[in-house]
């Protein structure tokens, strides 16, 4: 096994040698007192590969284990917009949930904001289905009038309905794995309204768009 110093020399000589970078990180991670050195290597590696989501995710995983959620949030601020990769963004959402769950319903707006931020950037990715499902579930699940519903939408029932309609229609505009379940949920939502004429009109308008997204 190569020594840490020889591996440092390898990556300095050839910064494109990914095997040497990985071996260097692996050796350093064996030493529980080498966390700062690991960070330096990740920083050097990411200067070489600034859009490599796999290395950003490894770095985030490492910081989560060694420093906690706030350190990871700082890394997300640097990497998310560079790396439109669903796996990395889903990790971001998990961290936001973990840090806001203790707040109860008052933390739901921050989770909603994180999901909308993610979908603004990844919503048309074919791998974004689980994120759409999570977002729609967040909006739909709280019973009307509940504390969670009030935290998300305020006291006006019309605000909830408008937000759900907008969310469903956005979800139906992109080709992803949750498209069919989103359509079924949207149908049920519109059909649950008291105005059958408006419900039929909305479904007639959006059915072709749903089929068009499925065809992509």
Considering only the C-alpha atoms of the chain, give the largest distance between any 2 of them, rounded to a whole number of Å: 74
Q: Kindly provide the b/e burial profile for residues 101-122, where b requires at least 16 CB atoms within 10 angstroms of the residue's own CB.
A: eeeeeebbeebbebbeebbeeb
Same domain, 5 and 57: yes
Same domain, 114 and 212: yes
Same domain, 158 and 215: yes
Same domain, 50 and 113: no
Q: Is 89 within a domain?
A: no
CA distance 80 to 84: 7
This prediction's pTM: 0.90
Question: What domain range is 3 assigned to?
Answer: 1-83
For position 199, which CATH number holds? 1.25.40.10
Q: CB–CB of 93/101 below 8 Å?
A: no
Q: How many domains does the chain have?
A: 2
Q: Is 125 within a domain?
A: yes
Q: Please report which helix (H) or strand (E) contains residue 1, including its range.
A: none
Same domain, 193 and 113: yes
Tens of pLDDT, residue by residue over 168-216, are: 999 999 999 999 999 999 999 999 988 889 899 999 999 999 999 999 8
Tens of pLDDT, residue by residue over 110-160, are: 999 999 999 999 999 999 999 999 999 999 999 999 999 999 999 999 999
Same domain, 171 and 202: yes
């Amino acid at each position: 096994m190569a020594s840490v110093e020889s591996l440092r020399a390898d990556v300095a000589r050839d910064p494109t040698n990914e095997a040497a970078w990985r071996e260097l990180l692996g050796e350093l991670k064996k030493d529980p007192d080498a966390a700062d050195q690991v960070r330096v290597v990740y920083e050097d590696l990411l200067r070489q590969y600034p859009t490599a989501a796999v290395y950003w995710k490894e770095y985030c995983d490492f910081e989560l284990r060694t420093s906690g959620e706030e350190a990871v949030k700082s890394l997300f601020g640097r990497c998310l917009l560079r790396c439109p990769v669903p796996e990395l963004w889903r990790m971001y959402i998990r961290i936001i949930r973990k840090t806001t769950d203790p707040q109860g319903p008052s933390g739901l707006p921050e989770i909603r904001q994180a999901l909308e931020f993610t979908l603004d950037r990844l919503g048309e990715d074919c791998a974004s289905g689980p994120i759409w499902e999570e977002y729609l579930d967040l909006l739909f699940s709280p019973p009307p009038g509940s504390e969670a519903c009030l935290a998300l939408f305020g006291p006006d029932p019309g605000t909830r309905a408008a937000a759900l309609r907008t969310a469903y229609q956005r979800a139906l505009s992109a080709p992803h794995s949750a498209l069919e379940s989103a359509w079924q949920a949207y149908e049920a939502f519109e059909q649950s309204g008291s105005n059958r004429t408006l419900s039929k009109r909305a479904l007639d308008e959006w059915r072709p768009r749903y089929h068009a997204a499925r065809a992509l």
